[in-house]
Amino acid sequence: MIPTQQIPNPTMPTCKTPRLLEGQKALVTGANSGIGRAAALSLAEAGADVVVNYIGGEEAAADVVKEIESRGSRGIAYRADISDEQQVQAMFAEMCREFGTVDILVNNAGIQKDSPFDQMTLEQWNAVLNVNLTGQFLCAREAVREFKRRGVVPEVSCSAGKIISMSSVHDSIPWAGHVNYATSKGGIMLMYKSIAQEMAPYRIRVNAIAPGAVRTPINTEAWETPAAYEELMQLIPYKRIGEPRDIGQAVVWLASDQSDYLVGTTLYVDGGMMLYPGFATGG
């Protein structure tokens, strides 16, 4: 195994986002930080107007809106708890009033409440399932209602709407100490695939992105010290941590007509984390 420090420039390339989503309207949940923020900015760079959903961190949400506007798109910050049915419905109603419709939903918001399994409280279990799974259900349902009402507008997109479900490598990799989180991501997989199957005849595309380790506030302890970073690299064949923008770019492509024939598929954006790196030398 090559030591990480011998690999030149272990950072992501910077490339310009093509304006693949000109005129489309997107909603990103949990868009005031981490992967959601990057998704919102990449969508704006690609020409979409974006609703920035958040629950805490109003200032950070306002900052994302400013960044969206500096990219020539419209942005609206909207506070809503995505696990609350009424708040979700009010958010979609407001979006339709302000932007006219919804073309893209990035079902991103997610939390971790980690604990050894036998010490996990029902609150920790429910909190994670409520946001990560029920939240995605509630938002996907409202988006689908709007997609079906409007149908395909060929000048905008070949499909009536796109949902991108933010999953994780832990939809497949079991994760000790994170049973609630891994369960929510496993659940997301069959939820979004079943929605994809049911909605494909309406030209609604539902797909997922499963990030590996990405440099965001959710997993700071996995990368903030050199020792932690070095240990993390044992799990990543590509030998760099993911940057939020790696996921933002994948979101744009999945939301665009360039991926029109992708229906019910998970894109693992993980630097090879799913490749059982332990077997590179063992087995």
User: What positions carry a catalytic annotation?
Assistant: 181
DSSP-assigned beta bridge partners for residue 107: 165
Q: How far is the CB of 270 from ligand BGC (least distance, A)?
A: 8
Residue 174 has which token pair? 């079991």
111 binds ligand BGC (CB under 6 A): no
Please tell me the distance from the alpha carbon of residue 165 to that of residue 96, in angstroms, as a whole number: 21
Nearer to ligand BGC, 178 or 205 (CB): 178
Interatomic CA distance for residues 260 and 81, integer angstroms? 31
Q: How far is the CB of 172 from ligand BGC (least distance, A)?
A: 11
> Rounded to whole angstroms, how far apart are CA atoms 249 and 157?
18
DSSP code per residue over 179-237: HHHHHHHHHHHHHHHHHHHHHGGGTEEEEEEEE-SBSSGGGGGGTSSHHHHHHHHTT-T
- Contact status: 212 vs ligand BGC (CB under 6 A): yes
- Told to check if 213 binds ligand BGC by CB under 6 A, we report yes
Which of 219, 228, 238, 274 binds ligand BGC (CB under 6 A)? It is 219
Stretch 149-188: interaction string toward ligand BGC, x if CB under 6 A: -------------------xxx------------------
Q: How far apart are CA 190 and CA 71, in angstroms?
A: 36
Residues paired with residue 85 on neighbouring β-strands, in sequence order: none
CA–CA distance, 240 with 270 (Å, rounded to integer) = 10
Question: 244 Cβ partners below 8 Å, 6+ apart?
Answer: 34, 35, 37, 38, 214, 215, 216
Residue closer to ligand BGC, measured from CB, 95 or 241: 241
Q: Which is nearer to ligand BGC, 47 or 271 (CB)?
A: 271
Q: How far is the CB of 168 from ligand BGC (least distance, A)?
A: 3
Please choose, out of 120-128, 143-151, 156-164, 211-219, the segment that lies near ligand BGC by the rule CB under 6 A.
211-219
Residue 259's nearest CA partner among 137, 123, 175, 162 is 162
Nearer to ligand BGC, 112 or 256 (CB): 112
* Residue 218 interacting with ligand BGC (CB under 6 A): yes
Q: Which residue is nearest to ligand BGC (CB)?
A: 168
The least CB distance from residue 279 to ligand BGC, in Å, is: 17
Q: C-alpha distances in angstroms, 60 versus 78, 83, 99, 110, 219?
A: 12, 21, 22, 17, 19
Region of residue 133 (phi > 0: left; psi between -120 and 50: alpha; otherwise: beta)? alpha
Q: Which of 120, 129, 222, 275 binds ligand BGC (CB under 6 A)?
A: 222
- The footprint of ligand BGC on this chain (CB under 6 A) covers a number of residues equal to 9
What is the closest distance, in whole angstroms, from the C-beta atom of residue 232 to ligand BGC in the complex? 8
What is the nearest approach in angstroms of ligand BGC to the Cβ of residue 250? 14
Judged by the rule CB under 6 A, the positions of this chain that interact with ligand BGC are 112, 168-170, 212-213, 218-219, 222
